[in-house]
C-alpha cells in the first residue's frame, strides 16, 4: 500500500523462491505442531520438541496467512464468478473431498465412543464447523470473500478493525469465528502491505549479515516473551505474530542466498498437498511407534512422526499421480464454475 492508500501490483508474475521457501517452513511447522502434540497427548508426557512448538506458536499460522494474502492484489478486481471459482470453489472442493476422506478413517473410532447416530450428526456439522486439521483451507475462502467485499472501505479502517479483533482473543467455541478474529489481520496485511514485504526481502538480500543479526535478536526476544508467558497476551500476540512472520520471510530469503532451500521450496510449492494428506502417515507412524515401543524417547518419536507426516504426504501425492487419481490433488473440470483458461499462473499463495 502506498502513502496515498492505493495499491500497487508489486509481486511479479513468476514464482519466487523465498515465498515458496517461507511456505515450506510454515507447512513443516504445522505438521510438527500436530505431530508433537498428538504424540505427547497419547503418551501423557512432553518431549524435547515441545519447546520448539511453543516457540513457533505466535507466528506459525500468522505467517501462513500473511503469505496467502501476498498476491491477492493481482486478482481481487476480477469478476465475481472468476474470483469465487479461484478463491472459494477451489478450496471448497478440497475441503469437502478430504473431510470425507479423513472422516472415513476416523468414523469407526468415533462410533465406538458415541454411536453411529452421533457420527452422522458430526459429519453434517463438519460442513459448518471445520473438521480436524482442515480448518485452514476452510477459512481461506472466507478471508478472500471478506477482503473483496471490503475493497471500497479504507484499508486503515479494515486493518484497525482486524487488529482489534485479534487482540480480543475471541473464544466462542466456533472455529470459523474464533480463527477469523485471530488470523484475518495477517491475511489482510499480506494483501495491503505486499509491496513493503517484497521490499523487506530485497533488503535482506542486499544486507544478509544485518538480517542474520536481526534474526538472532528476534529469536531471543521471541523466546523470552513466549516462555515468560506473554505470548498469549493481547498486543503481545499481535506483535509477536508480525515479528515472527517477518523473521520467517527473512530466514527464507537468506536460505535462498546460500542455496539451502531446495526441499523447503519444493514443500512450499506443494504445501496444499502436504496440508491435505499429512494426517494419514502422521497418525499411522504415531500409532506404530507408540504400540511397538521401539522409540521410547518422546522427542525423537515426535520428530520421526513429523518427518513421516511430511514425507508420507508427498509420497501419497506421487502415488496418486502414478495411479491416475489426480482428482485427489487437482480439481476436475466438472467442478469449475468459470473457464479454466482464464486461470492465473500458479501462484505461491495458492
* Angle value at C-alpha 245, between 306 and 187, nearest 5 degrees: 100
pLDDT in tens, 278-336: 999 999 999 999 999 999 999 999 999 999 999 999 999 999 999 999 999 999 999 99
For 27-70, what is each residue's pLDDT tens digit? 999 999 999 999 999 999 999 999 999 999 999 999 999 999 99
- From CA 298, how far away is CA 289, in angstroms rounded? 10
- Map grid coordinates 512432553 to a residue: 46
What residue ranges in 84-161 does DSSP mark as E strands?
Answer: none
Q: Domain map of the chain by residue range?
A: 17-342
- pLDDT band at residue 14 using 50, 70 and 90 as cut-offs: low
Percent of the chain having pLDDT more than 90? Answer: 87
Distance, in Å, from the CA atom of 263 to the CA atom of 223, rounded to the nearest integer, reads: 26
**Rounded distance between C-alpha atoms, residue 96 and residue 331, angstroms:** 12
CA distance 180 to 29: 20
Judge whether residue 10 has pLDDT over 50.
no
Confidence band, pLDDT 50/70/90 cuts, at residue 146: very high
Q: What is the DSSP letter of 13?
A: S
Assess contact for 182 and 169: CB atoms under 8 A: yes
Query: Residues near 210 by Cβ (< 8 Å), separated by ≥ 6?
Result: none
Tell how far CA 128 is from the center of its chain. 20
pLDDT tens-place string over residues 238-272:
999 999 999 999 999 999 998 888 999 999 999 99
Distance separating alpha carbons of residues 10 and 12, to the nearest angstrom: 6
* pTM of the predicted model as reported, rounded to 2 decimal places: 0.91
Instruction: Answer for the pair 321, 340: CB distance below 8 angstroms, yes or no.
Output: no
Task: Give the model confidence (pLDDT) of 158-205 as tens digits.
Answer: 999 999 999 999 999 999 999 999 999 999 999 999 999 999 999 999
Amino acid at each position: 500500500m502506498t502513502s496515498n492508500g492505493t495499491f500497487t501490483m508489486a509481486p511479479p508474475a513468476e514464482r519466487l523462491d523465498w515465498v515458496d521457501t517461507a511456505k515450506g517452513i510454515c507447512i513443516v511447522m504445522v505438521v510438527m505442531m500436530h505431530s508433537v502434540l498428538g504424540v505427547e497427548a497419547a503418551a501423557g508426557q512432553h518431549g524435547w520438541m515441545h519447546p520448539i512448538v511453543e516457540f513457533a506458536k505466535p507466528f506459525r499460522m500468522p505467517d501462513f496467512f500473511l503469505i496467502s494474502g501476498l498476491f491477492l492484489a493481482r486478482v481481487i478486481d476480477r469478476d465475481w464468478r472468476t474470483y469465487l471459482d479461484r478463491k472459494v470453489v477451489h478450496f471448497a472442493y478440497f475441503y469437502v473431498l478430504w473431510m470425507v476422506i479423513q472422516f472415513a478413517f476416523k468414523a469407526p473410532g468415533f462410533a465406538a465412543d458415541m454411536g453411529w447416530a452421533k457420527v452422522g450428526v458430526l459429519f453434517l456439522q463438519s460442513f459448518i464447523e471445520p473438521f480436524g486439521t482442515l480448518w485452514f483451507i476452510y477459512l481461506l475462502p472466507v478471508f478472500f470473500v471478506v477482503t473483496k467485499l471490503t475493497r471500497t472501505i479504507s484499508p486503515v479502517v479494515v486493518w484497525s478493525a482486524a487488529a482489534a479483533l485479534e487482540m480480543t482473543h475471541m473464544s466462542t467455541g466456533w472455529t470459523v469465528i474464533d480463527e477469523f478474529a485471530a488470523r484475518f489481520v495477517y491475511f489482510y496485511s499480506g494483501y495491503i502491505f505486499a509491496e513493503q514485504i517484497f521490499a523487506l526481502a530485497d533488503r535482506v538480500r542486499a544486507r544478509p549479515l544485518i538480517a542474520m543479526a536481526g534474526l538472532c535478536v528476534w529469536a531471543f526476544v521471541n523466546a523470552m516473551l513466549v516462555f515468560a508467558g506473554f505470548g498469549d497476551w493481547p498486543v503481545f500476540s499481535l506483535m509477536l505474530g508480525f515479528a515472527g512472520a517477518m523473521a520467517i520471510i527473512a530466514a527464507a530469503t537468506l536460505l535462498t542466498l546460500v542455496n539451502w532451500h531446495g526441499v523447503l521450496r519444493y514443500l512450499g510449492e506443494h504445501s496444499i498437498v502436504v496440508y491435505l494428506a499429512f494426517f494419514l502417515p502422521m497418525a499411522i507412524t504415531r500409532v506404530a511407534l507408540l504400540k511397538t515401543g521401539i522409540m521410547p524417547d518422546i522427542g525423537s518419536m515426535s520428530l520421526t512422526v513429523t518427518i513421516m507426516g511430511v514425507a508420507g504426504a508427498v509420497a501419497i501425492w506421487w502415488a496418486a499421480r502414478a495411479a491416475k487419481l489426480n482428482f485427489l490433488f487437482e480439481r476436475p473440470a466438472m467442478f469449475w464454475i468459470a473457464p479454466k483458461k482464464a486461470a492465473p499462473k500458479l501462484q505461491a499463495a495458492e
